Amino acid sequence: MKLPDTSASWYNTTMSLQECEKLCLRNCTCAAYSNLNISDGGSGCLHWFNNIVDLRELKEGGQDFYIRVSAVSGLVKNGMDKRRLAGIVIGCATLIISIVILGLIIRKKLMHPGKAIYWRDKNDKEDIDLPIFEFSTISNATDQFSERNKLGQGGFGPVYKGVLVDGQEIAVKRLSKTSGQGMDEFKNEVLLIAKLQHRNLVKLLGCSIQQGEKLLIYEFMLNGSLDYFIFNSTKTKLLDWTKRFHIIDGIARGLLYLHQDSRLRIIHRDLKTSNILLDINMNPKISDFGLARIFGGDQAEANTNRVMGTYGYMPPEYAVHGSFSDKSDVFSFGVMVLEIISGKKNRGFCDPHYRLNLLGHAWKLWIEKRPMDLMDEQLQDSVISSELLRCIQVGLLCVQQRPEDRPNMSTVILMLNGEKSLPNPGEPGFYIGSDNQPLADSTIRSSGECSINEASNSTLEPR
């Protein structure tokens, strides 16, 4: 036979024909298989999926082609005409494929009416069309969620690396049964990110809710999260100033898309360095939309009685009163900018002389006209001083105490690229001292802390 079109195929150069057959029989989507190379007597493996297109019998040449069909006794008889045999084989294959496609359509109709997966977005009145993965497929891809494939652990649960049967690498977010995030957060993330397409947002490939599990399947980010680099004394050396500025600019553009340019106006509410993923080219991508909220029409802000997020990145108006807006994300962005520049984490940072957190430390250096002292020492040989100073000033403008004093993200991008003049920043929110105790990221619900430094006597009430 002349082998069919290979646009929907998969290959392996080292498998034997017997191994190729076994792998095809284990995969319910495999329609046919053949040797990849016949010049050396037959080697390698080639699988076809979905429809078999452009298959023809040749009078001479060609190669053996194995079509997956039901076990039918007496299908091949001695002396049967080859043309008749080819017609029977192709006819059987066409019938089987047609039945499979019809079955999939019926199954989809039964499980997911119309285009919907299983939810409709009440805010947008539109069904969500997103692939559903079988739990067994994801379990096999991650080697049954083995520890060696574990990429990290968050408040929501673990994240695993997986490889699908076609070779595609994926990251699987497995919602823990003990997580503070439940079905509402899971649905929220699916509904939001499935509609968003931007180079600085992580891409959601699908989900699974079988066997009591809630799984989100994302594109795999080779370089992991941003915090893995900037807070690691060894890895931080890999981030020169050009890369850091590129990351800052990319995060800003992703946020601008969420706040203004996407079809939905979205407030993320949990921006932090661990939720910024880096692809193979160190392009930043915003992830984890479990706490995100949609703003409609001319809505400027909202309130919640359930304050959730991460210490060190929350603006004062949200942490204390539960009030959030796009300026809440701007505050979190400003914190990340100062962390990227300094290589220090706001949460747990302590100025050795004045007991200030990172924001207070940056503010003090600014008013003392020593802003360059904030710079990570690893940047000494690569920094562009004018860009660094501009980024420090933008970071301080973003973390100002009053939301109305903070710039929006369109203004931030103009300022970062030197296209807009920069005003002098005011005092940052939570300009407080530190008790110099080690602190870890955690979900905030209430706070009674106050300033203990001598430079100011700020409380957690917004000014």
**Same domain (yes/no): 334, 361:** yes
Partners of residue 162 on adjacent β-strands = 170
* Number of structural domains the chain divides into: 3
**Same domain (yes/no): 90, 177:** no
292: in domain:
yes
Mark which of 219, 243, 270 sits at the end of a domain: 219
| pTM (2 d.p.) | 0.65
**Owning domain of residue 25:** 9-111
**Same domain (yes/no): 168, 37:** no
What pLDDT score does 434 carry?
41
**Same domain (yes/no): 379, 284:** yes
36: in domain:
yes
**Same domain (yes/no): 286, 370:** yes
**Same domain (yes/no): 73, 134:** no
Long-range contacts of 297-303 (CB under 8 A, 24+ apart): 299/265, 300/325, 301/325, 301/403, 302/267
Query: For this structure, is 270 an active site residue?
Result: yes
3: in domain:
no
- b/e sequence 245-255, b meaning 16+ C-beta within 10 Å: bbbbbbbbbbb
428: in domain:
no
254: in domain:
yes
**Same domain (yes/no): 234, 380:** yes
Q: How far apart are CA 325 and CA 154, in angstroms?
A: 24
Mark which of 56, 80, 111 sits at the end of a domain: 111
Q: How far apart are CA 329 and CA 313, in angstroms?
A: 9
What digits encode the pLDDT tens for the residues 56-85? 777 777 788 898 887 654 554 444 566 677
What pLDDT score does 231 carry?
92
Which residue among the candidates 121, 227, 270, 376 is catalytic per the annotation?
270
What pLDDT score does 162 carry?
94
What pLDDT score does 354 carry?
66
CATH number of domain containing 125: 3.30.200.20
429: in domain:
no
Give the CB-side neighbour count of residue 390, counting CA atoms within 13 A: 20
What pLDDT score does 129 carry?
64
What pLDDT score does 107 carry?
59
Mark which of 77, 111, 145 sits at the end of a domain: 111
What pLDDT score does 81 carry?
60
184: in domain:
yes
With a cut of 50, list the residues of the chain below it in pLDDT.
Answer: 73, 76-79, 109-119, 433-463
**Same domain (yes/no): 41, 135:** no
What pLDDT score does 181 carry?
56
CATH number of domain containing 233: 1.10.510.10
**Same domain (yes/no): 388, 241:** yes
What digits encode the pLDDT tens for the residues 180-200? 555 666 776 777 777 788 899
Give which of 346, 340, 321, 287 is closest to 403, Cα–Cα: 321
Answer yes or no: are the C-beta atoms of 243 and 379 closer than 8 Å: no
Answer yes or no: are the C-beta atoms of 130 and 196 closer than 8 Å: no
**Same domain (yes/no): 268, 318:** yes
What pLDDT score does 103 carry?
73
**Same domain (yes/no): 34, 179:** no
**Same domain (yes/no): 239, 346:** yes
239: in domain:
yes
| 371's tokens | 């802003």
